[in-house]
Amino acid sequence: MTTRFGVAMSTDIARRLTADLTRDDGQEECCFVLWRPSTGAQRTTALIVDTVPPLEGERIVHGTVDFTSDYFRRASDLAAEVGCGVGLIHSHPGGRGWQTLNRVDHAAEENFAAQAMALTGRPLLGMVFSGADQGHSARIWQRRARRHYAPMHAESVRVVGDQFTVTFNPRLAPVPRAVDSQVRTVSAWGPSVQDTLARLKVGVVGTGSVGMIVVEALARTGVGHLTLLDFDAVEIVNLDRLLHATQRDARRGRAKVDLAAQAARRAATHPAFRVTALEASVVEPAGFAAAADCDVLVSCVDRPWPRHVLNLLAYAHLIPVVDGGVSVATHSGSMRGAEWRGHVAAPGRACLECLGQYDAAHVATERDGMLDNPSYITGLPDDHVLRRKENVFVFSLAAASAQMNQFITMVAAPAGIADTGAHLHHLTTGTTDRREEGCTPQCPYGGTSPDEEPGGSLHLLGDSAPTLVGSHTAAERARAARRTLRARLRHLRP
């Protein structure tokens, strides 16, 4: 049972709503929407999947807006047909930012809450569009007792795609006090970007060589809440690349995520910084649920299965994934070149599969445990993508930097530009390739539907998307090994 609520929509839907809800005569307007749930460990998000604009005569504009019961019925029937809930959004043309629910709107929405539940099997979503800044506010009408419905307010409404904007509910997500340690950062992009960063919940999936640097950057920059996922332990062979790691950490088999959480607490500049560390993979149910609670995910993994799951989170659950990676080319023991990447997977942008970041055919191989089977790996050709492990600290630094630049571009949108395409940097030529087109039309994530609408077959499916999670033998073994080691160390202590 989740206790937090949020709303997310693609930039595509947001643009349609802005057009539908903005009137030349400056009066209020309304529109019904269809939504689907995306459930995390603590937060349920209503994903807006379509708009149902009014037909001629279905609403009455007289300063404030009213609609006919036929319009409500038509939208609810449409929602029920496709397994969605129904939502009512109306505009406050002069409104700016989060709109608190006033008495008139409260009464109007409450009136339809029971019917919406009866017709669609899902609670009514109520929203307000603020005309002055194109912000959104939202609540969901939950049944408290027989014929009694009460609003549960959203903590934020996120718009995700080639832009990234969030309207926060100031009561549930207050702006933190300004701190001296962030003066230089705030002078770069201003208090409004900083207030967004401070209230975002960012998940870092994988706290290895790239992820550890990403965590450091996010904590220092002032992101308020980090969720860290990794099941691996620090090993001696990591010490040449893993920021903060010591010989002692390696000897004790310390969980990388524990080291990352401690480093984040030390580095954080947010006055009420919170970090949640999970010794889990994103492909495990608990890891997936924690990731589904985040507003943005940073992918610092290189295996196909977690990347596959992250791709699903980006397009089916609308959580943008800032991904990247390093690849070093060697020949007979000498380096021939190196590449690193940074890109964001989100609707309207190319997905991880279309970018060649993983091969869907390798996911089953990994699920079967083959990638942790030494005899399978040594049987692969030397240059096989699943076998290559070459990396050095400076390339991890470069990849982390490429990913953080993508993250900052997305959130701060310098000069109004949030999407500069997927970047591939080449060491030997000193050049950067940029891919600006999105997915291939056939792609199930970011392709196009049969009627040429944006979004493939998995687009915005939320909880209706196929589950790609399962038990992960290597993660279970790693946790068991640490438990044994901890017990032994306890035993040895005098």
With a CB cutoff of 8 Å and minimum separation 6, the contacts of 339 are: 326, 327, 329, 424, 425, 426, 427
Number of H helices, E strands in the chain: 13, 19
* 445 near Zn ion (CB under 5 A): yes
* 89 near Zn ion (CB under 5 A): no
Q: Scanning the structure block, which residue is given the tokens 């201003």?
A: 190
211/347 with CB nearer Zn ion = 347
Smallest gap from Cβ 133 to Zn ion, in A, equals 16
* 439 near Zn ion (CB under 5 A): yes
* 154 near Zn ion (CB under 5 A): no
67/273 with CB nearer Zn ion = 67
Smallest gap from Cβ 353 to Zn ion, in A, equals 5
Q: Which stretch binds Zn ion (CB under 5 A): 347-355, 380-388, 408-416, 481-489?
A: 347-355
Q: Which stretch binds Zn ion (CB under 5 A): 200-208, 252-260, 289-297, 440-448?
A: 440-448
Binding-residue pattern over the window 222 to 261 for Zn ion, x denoting contact by CB under 5 A: ----------------------------------------
130/165 with CB nearer Zn ion = 130
* 295 near Zn ion (CB under 5 A): no
3-state SS, residue 165: strand
346/443 with CB nearer Zn ion = 443
* 29 near Zn ion (CB under 5 A): no
Rounded distance between C-alpha atoms, residue 364 and residue 360, angstroms: 8
* 314 near Zn ion (CB under 5 A): no
Sign of CA pseudo-dihedral 63, 68, 71, 77: positive
Chain centroid offset of residue 395 CA: 25
* 264 near Zn ion (CB under 5 A): no
Q: What are the residues facing 131 on neighbouring strands?
A: none
274-278/296-299 β-pairing: unpaired
Give Cα separations from 407 to 138, 345, 420 (angstroms): 26, 11, 11
3-state SS, residue 136: strand
Half-sphere exposure of 300 (CA within 13 A, CB side): 34
Smallest gap from Cβ 116 to Zn ion, in A, equals 18
Integer-rounded Cα Rg, in Å, for the chain is: 24
**Total residues interacting with Zn ion, rule: CB under 5 A:** 7
* 358 near Zn ion (CB under 5 A): no
Chain centroid offset of residue 101 CA: 27
Answer whether 207's CB lies under 8 Å from 257's CB: yes
Per CB under 5 A, the list member of 9, 322, 351, 404 interacting with Zn ion is: 351
| Residues engaged in binding Zn ion (CB under 5 A) | 105, 351, 354, 439, 443, 445-446
